[in-house]
A and B are shown apart, each in its own frame.
Chain A
Amino acid sequence: MTDTALPLQSQADQRAIAAIRRKNAVWRRILRDPPAAIAALFLVVLVGAAILAPWIAPFDPYASNMRLRLCPIGGARCPDFLLGADNQGRDMLSRILFGLRATLGIGIIAVVVGGGLGALIGLSAAYFRRLDQPLMRLVDVLLSFPSILFGLAIAAVMGTGLFSLVVALSIASVPSIARIARGAAQSIMQQEYMEAGRAVGLGDGALIWRYLALNCWPTILIYMTLQLGQAILLGAALSFLGLGAQPPTAELGSMAADGRKFLSIAPHVSTLPCAAIFLVVLAFNVLGDALRDALDPKLRQ
């Protein structure tokens, strides 16, 4: 095939290609965007702190000392408590670290479970046209329930607690991710390579996994990151209403609820957990946006 051979590329060329690939790696593109880099680093620190909470927390989050009740930040009564003490005289910093652990854990499990289920529903609806109408109408039904109402219903059926909170948040994450996944998968279904895969003789499983899912996952991942912020917020809201974590469990939402009675005399008890929720959700939203920019080749400069 002398007339069709291509010029051979040297080893130097191959090294250059590898360098370009490394330079354009997703995490590098995220780090080049300052707000995203800050959000990513912040989340790494927070997640690390949440995971390591039992080891790095300076005090036991459940040990109360009534003499230190509502001690303000930097108060003379509690020089060792960096962020003061709550209404039971417990160390706020330790409680926030443990609260973060619970809140993040609940949010992540809910989004992974609910998002996975939603992605499966969305991909199936796009791939098997027959299933599209039934599945998506089911998703419409789910979407028409306010999430708070969902939480209430599940708490009523299963009782309050962390497990029913996770279930409620998972179900709340399903419909929106199912819709996003279906939209992304439908556009992939139109691509000629889907037809090429069928022409090769691949079965449904291989086509859904290697063709559809592999091409849709950036969109789904981005949306799951954004959804994580929502799930954390909703989880905190349900706990605030007393439907999720039960006292004395350290969870940011229930901590905010407990502290609100003392807002005028010891504002830090309620505002610190709220600030933690705010920062976590903000960081996830910024990171989700940055992921979208980094993973979408159309937005690449």
Chain B
Amino acid sequence: MTTEPLLSVSGLTKHFPVKRGIVFQSAVGTVRAVDGLSFDVAPGETLALVGESGCGKSTTGRLVLRLIEATQGTIRFAGRDVRGLSRSALRDLRRDMQIIFQDPYASLNPRLTVGETLAEPLRLHGIASGAALRRRIDELLGEVGLSAWHALRYPHEFSGGQRQRIGIARALASQPKLIVCDEPVSALDVSIQAQVINLMQDLKRKFGLSYIFIAHDLAVVRHISDRVAVMYLGKIVELAPKRSLFARPRHPYTQALLSAVPVPDPTAQRARIRLAGDVPSPLNPPNGCRFHTRCAYAQDRCRSEEPLLRPLQDGAGAEGQVVACHFAESIVPPILVPENDPPYARRLAALRKLSAAA
């Protein structure tokens, strides 16, 4: 990465105390939701965070925005130390860094009209007022494919897809540089998903946005992201440019994850890796490599020594690919997803054709 990263996170850690007792509480343990994450996001880049539920993806997104306070680590955004910001500086930060939530039914205040919701960031950051405010709201609604008169309506009068567009418009209102997308399409129908994803890509191109795209749908990730970070139990196990990750995943967990993607082609030849058991509890994560309890390649070293994120030796890995596995070089990546014509792109191409004809 030659350019200065927009966001730079290192050693980010969040431990939630588990408390017992009603009046006199005492901590009886900690959930290590996020445990020492480090990653960068370049301007205009989309970094995807993928992983099973409970692996700490959403927590990471909220930590970056300081919606939750981190336990440890540093977050630098456009030269500012996010964790050290005062209250008023934090408000300015939120002008540049926004979030789109997963559930469009829960993320809009039901008592405010759409116009009032969109006016909040504009007024707060002193971007517009009076007639300019109305114009800007109309413009924002147009930007996400809604009409100006929608501003007078309440969230419950919209469908899920429309509400998610309102959520996107709210995030765009203050013209941020980075938007954290917390599973923005997983609560939507597949056809609506494609529309919202297209919208997000158009907006990215138009405004030069960076996204942190949190998802568990790998087809969506493959479509939208530039780089992908795979998380397991609060740690990144593999971080690589999209192409290399999907073509040659080097971490056994990434391989298992990719092999679970359904391929709509019954004749496709591919390996299936089945993981036994559940994700261990983050209350008491395994020693050594956190994945060793479910890894087919696990050896004694994995049980005692924790692997660090590292590039592969002898230039075996792709440029910018880092893996947290002791034996990444010796594990042969299986053929997982057919190279040409990934299913999601086909779905999107069909949709584009349809809407162009209409």
CB-CB under 8 A from A199, the residues of chain B are: 65, 67, 94, 98-99
- Whether the pair A193, B67 counts as a contact (CB closer than 8 A) is no
CB-CB under 8 A from B99, the residues of chain A are: 196, 199
B82 within 8 A of A: no
Q: Residues 175-218 of chain B: 1 if any A CB is under 8 Å from the residue's CB, otherwise 0?
A: 00000000000000000000100110010000000000000000
- Whether the pair A3, B109 counts as a contact (CB closer than 8 A) is no
CB-CB under 8 A from A193, the residues of chain B are: 106-110
B253 within 8 A of A: no
CB-CB under 8 A from A3, the residues of chain B are: 195, 198, 351-352, 355-356
A2 and B356 in contact, given A196-B99, A210-B112 (Cβ under 8 angstroms): yes
- Whether the pair A215, B124 counts as a contact (CB closer than 8 A) is no
Q: Residues 87-111 of chain B: 1 if any A CB is under 8 Å from the residue's CB, otherwise 0?
A: 0001100110011011100111111
CB-CB under 8 A from B103, the residues of chain A are: 192
A202 within 8 A of B: yes
- Whether the pair A200, B120 counts as a contact (CB closer than 8 A) is yes
CB-CB under 8 A from A197, the residues of chain B are: 109, 120
A5 within 8 A of B: yes
CB contact list, A167-216 vs B, under 8 A: 191-193, 195-203, 206, 210-211, 214-215
Cα–Cα distance between A203 and B94 once the two chains are bound (Å):
12
- Chain B interface bracket (under 10, 10 to 19, 20 to 34, 35 or more): 35 or more
A144 within 8 A of B: no
Q: Which of A192, A193, A203, A210 has the most chain B CB atoms closer than 10 A to its own CB?
A: A193
CB-CB under 8 A from B23, the residues of chain A are: 133
Q: How close is A33's CB to chain B, nearest CB, in angstroms? A: 22
Cα–Cα distance between A133 and B107 once the two chains are bound (Å):
28
Q: How close is B8's CB to chain A, nearest CB, in angstroms? A: 20
Q: How close is B21's CB to chain A, nearest CB, in angstroms? A: 12
Closest chain A residue, CB of each to CB of B196: A4
Q: How close is B19's CB to chain A, nearest CB, in angstroms? A: 12
How many residues does chain A have at the interface if contact means C-beta atoms less than 8 Å apart?
28
CB contact list, A1-54 vs B, under 8 A: 1-6, 8-9, 14, 17
Q: How close is B113's CB to chain A, nearest CB, in angstroms? A: 12
Q: Of B111, B195, B202, which contacts A214 at CB under 8 A?
A: B111
Closest chain A residue, CB of each to CB of B206: A1
Cα–Cα distance between A192 and B155 once the two chains are bound (Å):
14
Q: Of A2, A17, A198, which contacts B157 at CB under 8 A?
A: A17
- Which of B31-39, B142-150, B277-285, B299-307 has 4 or more CB atoms under 8 Å from chain A? B142-150
A5 and B145 in contact, given A192-B101, A198-B67, A200-B94 (Cβ under 8 angstroms): yes
- Whether the pair B149, A200 counts as a contact (CB closer than 8 A) is no
CB-CB under 8 A from B167, the residues of chain A are: 196
CB-CB under 8 A from B242, the residues of chain A are: none
CB-CB under 8 A from A1, the residues of chain B are: 142-143, 145, 199, 202
- Whether the pair B351, A195 counts as a contact (CB closer than 8 A) is no
- Whether the pair A6, B108 counts as a contact (CB closer than 8 A) is no
Cα–Cα distance between A215 and B109 once the two chains are bound (Å):
8
A6 and B101 in contact, given A202-B124, A215-B109 (Cβ under 8 angstroms): no
B170 within 8 A of A: yes
CB-CB under 8 A from B65, the residues of chain A are: 199
Q: How close is A192's CB to chain B, nearest CB, in angstroms? A: 4
- Whether the pair A195, B67 counts as a contact (CB closer than 8 A) is yes
Cα–Cα distance between A46 and B67 once the two chains are bound (Å):
51
B317 within 8 A of A: no
Closest chain A residue, CB of each to CB of B103: A192
CB-CB under 8 A from A203, the residues of chain B are: 91
Cα–Cα distance between A218 and B278 once the two chains are bound (Å):
44
CB-CB under 8 A from A192, the residues of chain B are: 101-103, 106-107
- Can you list 10 pairs linking A and B with CB atoms under 8 Å apart? A2-B356, A3-B352, A4-B195, A6-B147, A14-B149, A193-B107, A196-B170, A198-B67, A200-B121, A201-B121
Binding site for B on A (CB under 8 A): 1-6, 8-9, 14, 17, 133, 191-193, 195-203, 206, 210-211, 214-215
Nearest 9 CB-CB pairings of A with B: A3-B355, A4-B145, A201-B94, A192-B106, A201-B91, A214-B111, A192-B107, A193-B109, A199-B99
